[in-house]
Structure 1
Amino acid sequence: MLTILDKYILKRYLTTFSVMLLMFIPIGITIDVSEKVNKMIENNVPFSAIAQYYVDFTIYFANLLFPIFLFLSIIWFTSKLANNTEIIAILSSGISFTRFLRPYIIGATIVSLFALMMGFFLVPKASEGFKNFRYMYLIGNGQNEMRDNSDVYRQINKDEYIYVSSFNSVSKMAFNFSMEKFENDKLKYKVSASRIKWNPRDSSYTLFDFKKRKIGELGDVIISEQKKDTVLNFDLEDLTPVVYIAETLSYFELTKFIEKEKTRGSTNINTYLVVLYKKYSIPVSAFILTIIAVAVSSMKRRGGMGINLAIGILLAFAFVFLDKVFGVLAEKSAAPPIIAVWIPNILFGILAIYLLRNAKR
């Protein structure tokens, strides 16, 4: 049962975290608007599309910087408790430091469960909307977005390979499509089209400027059609770039997709696994960062709250930096993804134990 002390600290924990989000998200939106407003005006982007984009942007942005928001909010209100000598009064009443931590752990549990559910279901949908808007309306802003959605080359089974130069997830259309079929390491036929469009009504594809070249011993046979509707033995997701698709699938869709890619012998499994494991590692980091933040800010310092905030900002950005570095390492090297993704939590978990022991003293 929660005591008055538990309710008091828990209320401060959740309120400060919520206020921190409400403070920084509008700043992020303002900066994003200032960078993209000219492109939006040039492309006559509908207001409804812009509104939906910033709903998706808010979720995407909050999830991306979740560790920083959480860490700074705990540093902020715990430092205020320490400066007002409230923590000294609490501990002097006979309450142990471990017992003092209980409402913080309850708060971390609530926040981590919320982050877990967001990562499983809400963030993938927001990520898809966020990337779709950038691809559809802001692609002229530079070539980075185009490169993120281009040159998809994938093996769909033992003998078949597909390629598209770019993919538009809004119109469900890919460009410069080709599919090659091999038998005994020899090319059997090749299908090509300037565009390929997914038809969700009957799960078929429409190929524009269709050409099929059958390789024969005495000569090749070429079949050409301006437009051809057909059923192909691959999914729409197979046309999507590696990182793009992993970030836009819900938890159950992603696990199913990973199993399918494993049976195909995909070389991009590590990239998918990094996205999957991060759905678990980020919520767990809520507990680790909570303990570190309390241990750092529970002591009354001569420099006041500013010193605690400086330490907090440094540690928070160090955590995000390590998370990004080891995530890229897992995608680009032979390092096991589960180990690379969890290394930041392991390192900061050790730091949390060390700081907690010192704080108890």
Structure 2
Amino acid sequence: MKILNKYIISSLLKTLVTTLLLTILILLSVDLFSNFDSYVQNDVSLNQILAITVTYIPYAFITVLPPATLFSITFFLSQMFANNEIIALLSSGISIKTVYKQIIFLMGLITILTFIFNENIVLQSRINRENMKNQVFNINYNLDNSNIGLIDSVNNNIIFANSYVEKNKSLFNVIVVQKDESGNITERIDAKKAVWDEENEDWQLFNVIKSTIYDRKIEINEFEFYENPKINLEPNLFRNLSTDLQTMAFKSAIRYLNVQKKVNLQLWYENISEFLDRLSAPFSAFIMTIIACSIDYKNRKNIFLFSIFNSVLVAVIYYVSKMIFQIISKQALMNPYVAIIIPYIIILFLPLIYNKIKSSTLVKNS
């Protein structure tokens, strides 16, 4: 059994790695030529072009992993059936389900690792890539904001600020209103300035006037410096609403969406759709694994062409349906959580439809 497991893993990984390298190379070529005019017009050096292209590799890997997975598993299983290796396994008392279980386990492990990779390496590489492109193309994005009001439902407070400056992560003319569990105001804090403390992950307030309500009485205190762990909304949330959730840290993105849902519901639909798409990307490979293991591989002659055709067909249906339902979700016409699942349901039914058509064809021919 160990020999069989080693054979399955090594054969599958060889095909998968080769497919990934080829498809990533194609995507890098497309990216390079699509930006070629901009590189020439801005006199971008070769080293800068290579650096920008290299930072695209992690995202390209996540993009091509699902179709590469489908092709690799389809090719591997087709080869096993065509070479009568399945017959040898059955003769040895080993079920085909053993092969499927090993493939699913392997791809499940790869999916978990890919999710971690996506939320760390891919995220940072996209940020680095955008920063480099903005630098070489002389593009400036102003993340400063003004007249901000945010609700922190976790700590039950509301934060107002006249302006936010991204460069030093500072707020100016800040008002913090603290409420109790019943929704009654218990405290108001006025500050001239607030600066984000990276170490404690909260805001440091300066020139503070603190008004506290006790039994219908108000106690007023003044502080040159004031810090409260409950005043800890991330600086990302104070940026203008063009913040890209595709490059925002997971926890910050969740809190940003929670706040945005209360402030701007329409924009929340757009951003939650993109965020769910980002989270679901690593799991697409596992869904492709289920599809590949559900296909009937008997009587397959041209293995390579069948694998390519099958992979392209499923990929086109998946990405088109995904695009359609994402647009519907962004327009608030469908629940975003439902819209992200439907494309997976559609492609999961493809093997059933395919096997049904094949069975009907065989019956007619007989």
Partner of 1:324: 323
CA contact (8 A) 1:14 1:107 kept: no
Q: Sort the Cα spacing of 1:356 and 1:126 in 2 relative to 1 into closer, same or farther, 3 A.
A: farther
Letter in 1 for 2:11: R
Q: Partner of 1:345 in structure 2?
A: 344
Alignment partners' CA distance in 2, 1:19 and 1:329: 36
Partner SS state of residue 166, structure 2:
strand
> Which residue of the partner structure matches residue 64 of structure 1?
63
Query: Does structure 1 retain, via aligned residues, the 8 Å contact 2:86–2:96?
Result: no
Deviation at 1:337, TM superposition (A): 0.4
Letter of the 2:335 partner, please give it. P
Question: Hey, what's the Cα distance between the residues in 2 that align with 1:84 and 1:234?
Answer: 58
1:310: how far off?
1.0
Deviations 1:141-185 (A, max 9, x none): xxxxx9xxxxxxxxxxxxxxxxxxxx61xxxx359x76599xxxx
Question: Any idea what SS the aligned residue of 1:199 has?
Answer: coil
Residue 216 of structure 1 corresponds to none
2-structure distance, mates of 1:118, 1:338: 23
In structure 2, the residue corresponding to 1:267 is in which secondary structure? helix
Q: Which moved more, 1:89-98 or 1:129-138?
A: 129-138
Question: Given the superposition, is the C-alpha separation of residues 254 and 107 from structure 1 closer, same or farther in structure 2, using an over 3 Å criterion?
Answer: same
Show the counterpart of 1:120. 119
Partner of 1:14: 13
Change (3 A) 1:180 1:292: closer
Amino acid of the structure 2 residue aligned with 1:330: S
Pick closer, same or farther for the CA change 1:281–1:174 going to 2, 3 Å: closer
Deviation per CA, 1:298-345: give whole Å up to 9, x if none.
324134431332122111221122122212221123310000001111
Equivalent residues in 2 for 1:160-239, closer than 5 Å: 168=141, 173=142, 179=147, 198-200=166-168, 203-204=169-170, 235=235, 238-239=238-239
What is the letter of the counterpart of residue 287 of structure 2? I
Secondary structure of 1:268's partner? helix
Q: 2:89 corresponds to which letter in structure 1?
A: I
2:307 is equivalent to residue 313 of structure 1: no
Mapping 1:219-298, distance limit 5 Å: 235=235, 238-240=238-240, 242=242, 245-296=244-295, 298=297
> Where in structure 2 are the equivalents of 1:64-103 lying within 5 Å?
64-103=63-102
Go from structure 1 to structure 2 and tell me whether the alpha carbon gap of 1:16 and 1:241 turns closer, same or farther (over 3 Å shift).
Answer: farther
Q: Label 1:262 to 1:178 Cα distance change in 2 as closer, same or farther (>3 A).
A: closer
1:85-141: CA deviations, max 9, x gaps?
2223223433223222111111211221122112322222222233344444458xx
In the superposition, relative to structure 1, how do residues 174 and 288 fare at CA in structure 2: closer, same or farther (>3 Å)? Answer: closer
C-alpha distance 271-180 of structure 1, shift in aligned 2 (>3 A): closer
Distance 1:238 1:61, change over 3 A: farther
Cα 1:287–1:344 shift into 2, 3 Å: same
User: Number of residues paired by the alignment?
Assistant: 292
Gaps of 5+ in 2: 150-161, 173-191, 196-232, 359-366
1:33 aligns with 2:32: yes
In 1, are the aligned partners of 2:296 and 2:355 still within 8 Å (CA)? Answer: no
CA distance in 2, matches of 1:80, 1:14: 15
What is the deviation of 1:351?
Answer: 3.6
Q: Secondary structure at the match of 1:44?
A: coil
Output the CA distance in 1 between the equivalents of 2:263 and 2:71.
44
> Are the equivalent residues in 2 in contact too, given 1:205–1:231 (CA < 8 A)?
yes
Cα deviation digits, residues 62-93 of structure 1 (max 9, x gap): 22232112112222232222322222322343
Runs of 5+ unmatched residues, structure 1: 140-145, 147-166, 182-190, 207-228
Letter in 2 for 1:131: E
Q: Whole-Å Cα distance in 1 between the matches of residues 318 and 148 of structure 2? A: 44
1:115–1:283 Cα contact (<8 Å) kept: yes
Q: Secondary structure at the match of 1:334?
A: coil
TM-aligned CA distance change 1:266 to 1:291, over 3 Å: closer
Instruction: Give a deviation string over 1:182-220, Cα, whole Å, max 9, x none.
Output: xxxxxxxxx89xxx96222xx2379xxxxxxxxxxxxxx
Q: In structure 1, how many angstroms separate the alpha carbons of the residues matched to 2:3 and 2:20? A: 26
Identify the structure with bigger relative contact order (alpha carbons < 8 Å, sequence gap 6+): 1
Distance 1:68 1:304, change over 3 A: closer
User: For the Cα contact (< 8 Å) 1:281–1:342, is it kept in 2?
Assistant: no
> 1:237: how far off?
5.2
Q: Taking structure 1 as the reference length, what is the TM-score of the superposition?
A: 0.68
CA contact (8 A) 2:24 2:61 kept: yes
Q: Which amino acid aligns with 1:347?
A: I
Percent identity among equivalent residues? 21
Q: Is the 8 A contact 2:266 2:332 kept in 1?
A: no
- In our comparison, the structure showing a higher alpha carbon Rg is 2
**Quick one: which amino acid aligns to residue 17 of structure 2?**
S
Q: Which residue of 2 aligns with 1:130?
A: 129
